[in-house]
Amino acid sequence: MAPAFDDLALLSPECEEFGDDQVFARHFSKTAAEYTEVEAEMADDAVIKLLNPTRFIRDEHAVKAPHWRIRHGAYDRDTALAIPVILQTMLKNTGYDVDFFLPWGLPHSGDYDIDELFAWIDRLAK
């Protein structure tokens, strides 16, 4: 399996997600750990599993927010459009309120519509 975002030199922000106050970054794929270019640790399997929200959507014991807001730039070159579509479909099919939108022509940078985000939060909080 290709390591994708698990940089062999631990230079990707994704590797940093698996770090802590003792270790700045860790590998999260067996392939990257095997072919690492630097001295590195492998992240704990339990921590790796936490980063996949789809594992928790159908788990009746997991605590989940009732409202979800998902934005994914349609011009995103880093993450396939299928990823947020699958997430929102799973959420909707499980009965959650999902505000989903693919802003046209925008990349992976985020901050697509901050004013609308706060208005959405205000509506839910009333």
Instruction: For residue 38, give the DSSP letter.
Output: S
**SS3 state of residue 97:** strand
Q: Tell me: the pLDDT tens digits for 5-24?
A: 899 999 999 999 999 999 99
Please classify residue 17 by burial: count the beta carbons closer than 10 Å to its beta carbon, then call 0-12 exposed, 13-18 middle and 19+ buried. Answer: middle
CA–CA gap between residue 26 and residue 6 (Å, rounded): 9
Under-50 pLDDT residues of the chain:
none
pTM of the model: 0.77
